Structure 1
Amino acid sequence: MRVTVAHPRELGQPEISRWRALQESDAAFDNPFLSPEFTVTVGDLRDPVRVAILYDGPDIVGFFPFERHPLGIGKPVAAGLTDAQGLVHAKGFDLDPHRLIKACGLSVYEFDHLVAGQPLLDGRHTTHPSPIIDLRDGYGPYTETLKAQSGKTYKSTLAKSRKLQREAGALRHDYAITDPGPLQTLLGWKTDQYRRTGRTDRFAQRWIVELVERLLATQSDGFAGVLDMVYVDDVPVAGHFGVRTRTTLAGWFPAYDTQFAKYSPGLIHHLAMAEAAAASGVQVIDMGRGEKEYKDKLKNGQYEVAEGRVARAGVAAGVHWMMRVPVRKTRATVMANPLLLKTADKALKTFGRLRTVLQG
């Protein structure tokens, strides 16, 4: 195996085409976060982004997108934002993960959403469910499954949708729009949500805002930014921005106007989005790893993603272990314990309310 490392902007059309062909050759890679367009766009905004190109003789057999940080610490592209990570490679390809990260100039590569079947896995990792809305049989069969699994939620969502329309006006759903105006409305809602729940506001970082804007402007058959919004009497109520391949839509930034909260606008929107996505050819909506009530109510399947690291022996790897691994294990303990998770979530929301008051 021969490895060369390049910045995404250095990739030519032959490399991009080969990457896309490898991605489309295996369903495990059917996620827009593994698409070359995503890495190239992030690379235009973030200097640490690199791509390792793997060769078997003259043939390209894989692409490994990553970020290289000080001390040789490697992370996925746009770490903390992406719900699918890993190496896009030819079927039957095998490698030594330690040799790969050495060729990339890395001491450690850490991941938290590594997709299934990766040769980067060495057995020292944990796996987590990533809920999906499976639309391969169509939207109608999905709703039938939903009625059987979450009948109360499905019926109450339809009832709340009718009530919302009686009390506020006619409902309209715009799917796959490219107008930046509604996007700014959505990002404003998302910022309010982050602050309200005590989370870090991702959109306080200008590069993330610009990333979303650039992805919205990227429209092709194989990759596109997807913005959709639900309106009542032409007033925006809820929406979502994500990215898609031909057949997979990655759930990314859903949000709604809290003044409509009693109507469950998020659930109303997700059902509308699923119906429109299915009609456009999307077969799976990957909602991403994470314990969220709406995901439990809407899912009818799940993938598995892995969390862990690949490390070479050395000082940098040891320092990384001391700084990151105990924290990750503590987080995993909290996430696996409903009482601890509820307590932590309550503490974050209390912090969010205090921060809102103080920022007045």
Structure 2
Amino acid sequence: MNSLQIKCTGELSNRDVAAWREIASLNEVTSHPFLQPEFVQAVGKHRPETRVAVIQNGSDYVGFFPYQTTSAGVGHPVLPELTDYHGLIATDALDLSAEELLRKCGLLVWHFDHLPVSQGMFRRHHAYQDPSYLVRLSAGFENYAAELRERKSSVLSQALRKSRKLERELGPVTFHVHEESEEAVTNLVDWKRVHLDRRSGSNPFVRPWMHSLLREVSQTHGETFHPELSVLRAGGQCLAVHFGLRTGNRLVSWIPTFAPEFSQYSPGQVLYAELIRSAADRGIAEIELGRGENQLKLSLSNASVPLAVGAVDLRMTSRVIRSGWFRMRQMVHSNGFLKQHSLPFLRRIKSFVS
């Protein structure tokens, strides 16, 4: 029979962390950077509402469930504003339903919007699925570039032209895979805040803890968890920053951004071209670009995997309301005109439903 203990991240023992790391390594889904103990512990230092359910069968560890909670019993994934992968880290010996898991955690609801569809215990709580876009590099950079050319994507050649323009007008272009520098973290937060301020919806980069949290993660290295704070410069000036997280030969493209005053050079596009070439040279087989569509992401990707959106909710009335919201969202997103003109309204409703 499974027993469950709720712990703050600072209460996890070395034995807990070692068992978590071992279970996470058992399959590709749970080896994701956002499900690693190092990431969750780094977040927990700055988000005190972070919890981990440690699940055992006798003396054997069978699962870990990281989440964030409110006093009202509302649960979310860890750092829900920014993370692109959610779920449970468990062995086949885990014997709990999703509803039992929530009750043992003291939660009334757990929201998710980047859940791997292979996590069967949550399957009946899916509302819909969206693709998460990938750059697959197992055949090497030249084969990847040839694949893009075959489908008439000029994104890499455009990046090369922009890079040459930068060289001519600003100076030599350099790309560094990882810099543990205060300048890189500050630029990441400041530029991302500016870009998101121009859109409707919430902006997590205005929150006072964001800078210190990202600095913490950028300096957190584990046995398999590695942050990569990559920087693109021209003539010594920092033009773009990309915060990625790596486990094994998988790199997650987490937070990309660029200096708004240099937008005419498309520094984000140049940075991604450099990042992909560097990743292929280092033996990285896959770069995860995440859910959500934008032109650059669609141009660069050559594969996708489905991720689920939904909630495990123990409250019947709330389930009915949320079901209506998801049906309305699907109707809007299936109509190009409605999708273009209704997103701010939908975001307000989503905030209310959540």
Q: TM-score w.r.t. structure 1 length?
A: 0.88
Residues 30 and 284 (structure 1 numbering): CA distance in 2 closer, same or farther, change over 3 Å?
farther
Report runs of 4+ in structure 1 exceeding 4 Å deviation: 91-94, 322-329, 344-348
Unaligned runs of at least 5 residues, structure 2: 347-354
Q: Whole-Å Cα distance in 1 between the matches of residues 24 and 271 of structure 2?
A: 30
What code does the residue aligned with 2:131 have? P
Contact 1:133 1:298 in 2 (8 A): yes
Q: Show CA shifts across 1:212-265 (max 9, x none).
A: 010111133411221111111111222211322232222121111233323322
In the other structure, the counterpart of 2:19 is 18
Deviation at 1:92, TM superposition (A): 6.7
In the other structure, the counterpart of 1:28 is 29
RMSD between superposed Cα atoms in Å: 2.3
2:176 pairs with 1:200: no
Q: Whole-Å Cα distance in 2 between the matches of residues 164 and 332 of structure 1?
A: 42
Contact 2:33 2:246 in 1 (8 A): yes
Q: What count of residue pairs does the alignment treat as equivalent? A: 344
Residue pairs, 1:90-129, within 5 angstroms: 90-91=91-92, 93=94, 95-125=96-126, 126-129=128-131
Q: Whole-Å Cα distance in 2 between the matches of residues 248 and 300 of structure 1?
A: 15
Q: Whole-Å Cα distance in 1 between the matches of residues 234 and 258 of structure 2?
A: 12
Larger deviation: 217-226 or 76-85? 217-226
Contact 1:53 1:64 in 2 (8 A): yes
In the other structure, the counterpart of 1:358 is none
Percent identical? 30
Contact 2:252 2:287 in 1 (8 A): yes
Which among 337, 340, 343 is matched to residue 341 of structure 2?
A: 343
Which among 230, 240, 243 is matched to residue 241 of structure 1?
A: 243
Which among 265, 279, 282 is matched to residue 280 of structure 1?
A: 282
In the other structure, the counterpart of 2:352 is none
Q: TM-score w.r.t. structure 2 length?
A: 0.89
In the other structure, the counterpart of 2:79 is 78
Residue pairs, 1:185-196, within 5 angstroms: 185-196=187-198
Deviation at 1:333, TM superposition (A): 3.9
Contact 1:26 1:91 in 2 (8 A): no
Contact 2:108 2:313 in 1 (8 A): yes
Contact 2:200 2:344 in 1 (8 A): no
Q: Whole-Å Cα distance in 2 between the matches of residues 119 and 43 of structure 1?
A: 27
Which among 163, 174, 195 is matched to residue 161 of structure 1?
A: 163
Deviation at 1:21, TM superposition (A): 1.2
Q: Show CA shifts across 1:255-291 (max 9, x none).
A: 1123332332211110111122233343221111112
Q: Whole-Å Cα distance in 2 between the matches of residues 336 and 37 of structure 1?
A: 39
In the other structure, the counterpart of 1:259 is 261
Residues 136 and 13 (structure 1 numbering): CA distance in 2 closer, same or farther, change over 3 Å?
farther
Deviation at 1:57, TM superposition (A): 3.1
Residues 333 and 43 (structure 1 numbering): CA distance in 2 closer, same or farther, change over 3 Å?
farther
Contact 1:30 1:247 in 2 (8 A): no
Q: Whole-Å Cα distance in 2 between the matches of residues 345 and 297 of structure 1?
A: 23
Q: Whole-Å Cα distance in 2 between the matches of residues 328 and 242 of structure 1?
A: 31
Q: Show CA shifts across 1:285-320 (max 9, x none).
A: 1111112111101111112111111122xxxx2464
Q: Whole-Å Cα distance in 1 between the matches of residues 8 and 42 of structure 2?
A: 11
